[in-house]
Amino acid sequence: MIFDQTHNDVISVSALNRMARDLLESGLPALWIGGEISNLTLAASGHAYFLLKDGSAQIRCVMFRHKLAGLGFRPGEGMQVELKGLVTLYEARGEYQINVDSMRSAGLGRLFEAYEKLKQKLTAEGLFDAARKRPIPAHPAAIGIVTSPAAAALRDVVTTLRRRMPSIPVILYPAQVQGQGSAEQLAAAIQRAGERREVEVLIVCRGGGSIEDLWSFNEEVVARAVAACPIPVVSGVGHETDFTICDFVADRRAPTPTAAAELVSPSREHLQGQVELARRHLARALGRLLTDKAQRLDFLSRRLKHPGEHLRRQRETLRLAEERLRRQLQGLFEQRRWRLQLAESRLGRHRPDLAQHVQRLDRLSEALHRAGDNGLNRRRLTLVRLAGTLEAMNPQAVLQRGYAIVQKADGRAVRSPLELLNRERVTLQLAEGRTEAIIEHPAGAQPELPF
């Protein structure tokens, strides 16, 4: 590509780096590149940064976390690898680098390709989905192991199970874990364990080794046997950095066979500690309960008395109450007697002249009668005058003289002919009752107000 740039067409550094990145990404396809890993850094974000070098050159590489998690092995310093990625440019620093999509150990390209192909196939079928994973029983009645009887992993698993919970029976389903026909034997052993239903959880395990040594656990027949097994399966294959197809299909993955044994078996020491803790809690609770009940019993026993004792106490209480009442009445009588004597003494000193008061009372009584008679006469005259006035204002008296009250339909009294319409129905209130009438105005005549 040729750029026709004049003197004034100045671009920024970021624009230049962007152009260079576009040229690299469009000009070079994704390539397989071989070399040695150097300066490997695993960031806290989970991404891996390293140099890929040969005898005379090197290039920066980055492999993001989601790509790194699906490798099946852990890249290491000095490891000879073959990687596939897109050649690009990191614009912020202007550094030429490879964004790695996949990686395989050098010389094992065919195995890694088969591994990735099967992994993608089973992923598409949903065999790795978390929704199909089954829980591992916390206290299995029996544990099954699929491995070789001569494998060191078997000794590690059995030793761990005996240490943690020796009471749980262990059943071995022997199978060859390496070499010709081992994958078919592993699948058959897993199927046999599922058919017998002798155990509640199944461990599929072997010790560490190279990718070729562990390849039986990457075979499709083993993966499908694990997926079809009706018993929860724990995969404990290789070391922590080893990932097999069996790990992804199993209900749980353990980093080592020993870890698988710890995963499926409860800890006797932990359970004993829990039982001891529960025993102490129960003992304290029972102690508190017994103490509370004992205190309650003491309280009730103090309240429980013999009926004779109860009667004696009531008689004593009644006697004391009677004595207090007698003393209070005696004191009250003495107080009243003293107050009566005092009142008699004061009455004797202030006794009035009864004859004089009787005469004065007679005079007041006579004056009261006279005043009452005079007031009654005045009220009678006022009542007569008001009755006459009321009678004069009584509308019934006016009606008795032949007058009538004209009322409209709503009860209002008519005061003017202008308030009446032709053919309007009205009510006439007479002295001795009511009647109705219809207004008739003469033709052409207009009602007039009286002068």
Encode pLDDT of 236-260 as tens digits: 998 887 788 999 999 999 999 999 9
pLDDT at 7 over 50: yes
Establish how many alpha carbons lie within 13 A of residue 137's alpha carbon, considering only the half-sphere containing its beta carbon: 14
**Residues 19, 1 contacting (CB under 8 angstroms):** no
Collapsing DSSP states into helix, strand and coil, what is residue 58?
A: strand
pLDDT at 6 over 60: no
Domains 13-107 and 121-269 fall in the same CATH topology: no
pLDDT value of residue 351: 66
The whole-angstrom distance between residue 226's C-alpha and the CA centroid of its chain comes to 38
pLDDT value of residue 397: 72
Tell me the two tokens of residue 371: 């005043």
Buried b (16+ CB within 10 A) or exposed e, 329-338: eeeeeeeeee
Buried b (16+ CB within 10 A) or exposed e, 251-262: bbbbbbbbbbbb
Which residues are 436's β-sheet partners? 427
How do the domains of the chain map onto residue ranges?
A: 13-107, 121-269, 399-438
- Which segment of 60-64, 131-135, 172-176, 438-442 scores lowest on mean pLDDT? 438-442
**Residues 105, 28 contacting (CB under 8 angstroms):** no
**Architecture of 121-269 per CATH?**
3-Layer(aba) Sandwich (3.40)
pLDDT value of residue 451: 43
Its CATH class, for the domain covering 13-107, is: mainly beta
Overall pTM surpassing 0.75 (yes/no) = no
**Helix H or strand E encompassing 225:** helix 220-228
